[in-house]
C-alpha cells in the first residue's frame, strides 16, 4: 500500500467517528394526546416535531407538522434524566390545558406559565 493511501485511510478512520458528535440533536417527535395551549396558541391533539434553537438554557421551541411551523414559544432546557418521555400539562381557564413541559430521555423543555398567556 502506498504511504499516501495509508495516511488517507488513517485520517478518515480517525475523523469519521467525530461527525457523530458534531452537533447535538435538537429535535424530537412528540405526541399530544389532548389539545394544549402554548404561547397563546391552541395546539390540537396530534403528532408534532419539536425543534429547539438557542444556546444555554434559554431556547426557542418550534412545533412543526410536516414542513409547517404551527407555533413557537420560548422555553428553558434542563439537563436531567427522565425514565419516560412525557408531556406535562396544567389546567388553565375553562377546560384549557396549558403545556408546562416536555420530558425527553436526557432533557426537559420547560415552558413558563406567564409565556402561555402571550401570543406568538
Q: For position 3, what pLDDT does the model report?
A: 54
- Look at residue 84 and tell me if it is in a domain: yes
Longest dimension (CA), the chain: 75
Asked whether residue 6 is assigned to any structural domain, the reply reads no
Domain carrying residue 110: 24-116
Q: How far apart are the first and last CA of the chain?
A: 61
Residue 83 lies in a domain: yes
Q: Is residue 106 part of a domain?
A: yes
Q: What pLDDT sits at residue 2?
A: 56
pLDDT digit string, tens, across residues 61-81: 999 999 999 999 999 999 999
What's the average model confidence in pLDDT over 32-55? 95
User: What's the predicted TM-score (pTM) here?
Assistant: 0.74
Does 8 fall in a domain?
Answer: no
Q: Using CA atoms, how far apart are residues 59 and 109, in angstroms rounded to an integer?
A: 9
* Distance between CA atoms of residues 20 and 59, nearest Å: 23
Is residue 68, in this structure, part of any structural domain at all?
yes
Q: Is residue 90 part of a domain?
A: yes
Residue 2 resides in a domain = no
> For the chain, how many structural domains are there in total?
1
Amino acid at each position: 500500500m502506498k504511504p499516501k493511501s495509508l495516511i488517507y485511510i488513517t485520517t478518515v478512520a480517525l475523523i469519521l467517528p467525530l461527525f457523530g458528535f458534531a452537533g447535538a440533536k435538537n429535535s424530537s417527535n412528540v405526541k399530544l394526546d389532548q389539545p394544549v395551549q402554548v404561547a397563546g396558541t391552541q395546539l390540537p391533539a396530534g403528532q408534532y416535531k419539536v425543534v429547539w434553537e438557542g444556546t444555554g438554557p434559554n431556547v426557542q421551541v418550534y412545533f412543526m407538522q410536516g414542513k409547517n411551523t404551527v407555533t413557537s414559544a420560548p422555553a428553558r432546557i434542563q439537563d436531567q434524566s427522565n425514565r419516560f418521555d412525557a408531556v406535562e400539562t396544567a389546567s388553565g381557564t375553562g377546560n384549557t390545558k396549558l403545556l408546562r413541559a416536555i420530558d425527553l430521555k436526557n432533557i426537559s423543555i420547560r415552558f413558563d406559565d406567564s409565556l402561555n398567556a402571550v401570543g406568538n
